[in-house]
Amino acid sequence: MTGIPLVVAEEVAQALAEGRAVVALESNVVTHGLPYPDNAATAAKVESAVRAGGAVPATIGVDGGRLLIGMGEADIERFASTPGIPKVSSRDLPVALARGGPGATTVASSLVAAELAGIPFFASAGIGGVHRGAQATMDVSADLIQFTRSRVAVVCAGAKHILDLGLTLEYLETQGVPLVAFRSDDFPAFYCASSGLRSPHRIDEPDVVARVVENHWAAGNRGAVVITTPPRPEDAVDSSVAEAAVREALAAAERDGVRGNAITKYLMRAVDAVTGGRTAQANMAVLISTAEVGGVLAAAHARHRLLP
């Protein structure tokens, strides 16, 4: 017993009991991403992508003092169409559960829930990281902290381009979080195929990735393994275009006095405006492609665990 009430969808519970692959997904992209009804439609496509990769999707949410492990269509529709559902990170999770209202999980809180439910894989388009100017602001995403605490493999398209990606990689190294690039050489930057920074390891075979994950945990480590996959070439945004847009957005944020928790959403919207909506389209595409790779790798990991 964990002490935290879990409502596990029947399909997810059956897959876990049978040792089949399950991929956890955050619900924050449903409530704080695209407008309704595009957000609900995209959530359905993301879940379908996980299935195409060979795994069962488990979108995670908070409601009624419980963690929903595998939100049904009705739950996703309600979250997508209801304004004002708060974003719940790992620090907010005990408060959101105590209050009993609905809450949308981030990467960090989804990892907490996934480990409680026994789900070893999680997929998200982009993780948080060290923010630009963190030397002065100390603005470091809770995602990075949670990677040191949750035994869940994280499949992502790197970190968002608005962040300081060099410092993000340094933080992961310092904390001993294994970082593997799946079928690419570089650390991707969300909707950009490359951040211009090399990944410490490239692995092309899903079965080898599965062994990496198991080896990390067999060595007694409590934390995550981060596995990156770049956007498809047809979906990627040119990194020089993205960087120019980010710099313009940062200047606008400084001018408007936007700081703290509001900065990420502000910058993402500002970059999208500068690029004429190109990054929003790429964001949606990366959500789907990353989810499919997550399904492929989770399926490989499930097969590895069944080996004698």
Confidence band for 247, pLDDT divided at 50, 70 and 90: confident
**Average pLDDT in the 101-114 region?**
98
Instruction: Spell out the domain ranges in the chain.
Output: 6-306
Residue 37's pLDDT is what? 94
Residue 79's pLDDT is what? 98
**Average pLDDT in the 240-249 region?**
81
**Average pLDDT in the 139-149 region?**
96
pLDDT digits (tens, 9 = 90+) for 193-243: 999 999 999 999 999 999 999 999 999 999 999 999 999 999 988 888 878
**Model pTM?**
0.93
The CATH class for the domain spanning 6-306 reads alpha beta
pLDDT digits (tens, 9 = 90+) for 265-302: 777 777 777 677 777 788 889 999 999 999 999 999 99
45 in active site: no
**Average pLDDT in the 108-136 region?**
95
Give Cα separations from 191 to 147, 228, 248, 281, 288 (angstroms): 22, 12, 18, 9, 12
CA-CA-CA-CA dihedral for 286, 289, 291, 296, to nearest 10: -150
Residue 1's pLDDT is what? 42
Confidence band for 183, pLDDT divided at 50, 70 and 90: very high
248 residue type, one letter: E
Residue 2's pLDDT is what? 52
Which position among 10, 26, 45, 234 bears the catalytic label?
26
Q: Which two tokens stand for residue 84?
A: 């004002």
Residue 26's pLDDT is what? 98
d(CA 94, CA 105) in angstroms, rounded, equals 12
pLDDT at 120 over 80: yes
Which position among 47, 87, 115, 160 bears the catalytic label?
160
160 in active site: yes
Residue 274's pLDDT is what? 67
Instruction: Look at 139 and 243; give whichever has higher pLDDT.
Output: 139
